[in-house]
Amino acid sequence: MRRLVVAGLLYLTGIAILLVIKPEFMFRDDGRWKEFGIGRDSNYFTHIPFWLFTIVWSLLSYIIVLFMEDSLYIPSNEIEFSRNSANVKNAKQAKAVQELIPGYYMLNEGYTARDGVPRYVYLGPSPDGESS
27 part of a folded domain:
yes
Identify which has the larger pLDDT, 59 or 1: 59
Give yes or no: residues 9 and 52 share one domain: yes
**Single-letter residue type at 74:** I
- At 40 the pLDDT is 83
First-last CA distance in the chain: 42
Whether 62 and 7 have beta carbons less than 8 Å apart is answered as yes
Identify which has the larger pLDDT, 18 or 120: 18
Average pLDDT, the chain: 77
- The residues pairing with 121 across neighbouring beta strands, listed in sequence order, are 106
Query: What is the number of structural domains in the chain?
Result: 2
Whether 118 and 112 have beta carbons less than 8 Å apart is answered as yes
Give yes or no: residues 83 and 104 share one domain: yes
**Single-letter residue type at 70:** D
Identify which has the larger pLDDT, 36 or 75: 36
Q: Most confidently modeled of 20-24, 83-87, 95-99, 120-124?
A: 20-24
- Give 88-100 pLDDT, tens digit per residue: 444 444 444 566 6
- At 62 the pLDDT is 94
- At 55 the pLDDT is 96
How far apart CA 60 and CA 42 sit, in angstroms, is: 26
Domain housing 88: 78-124
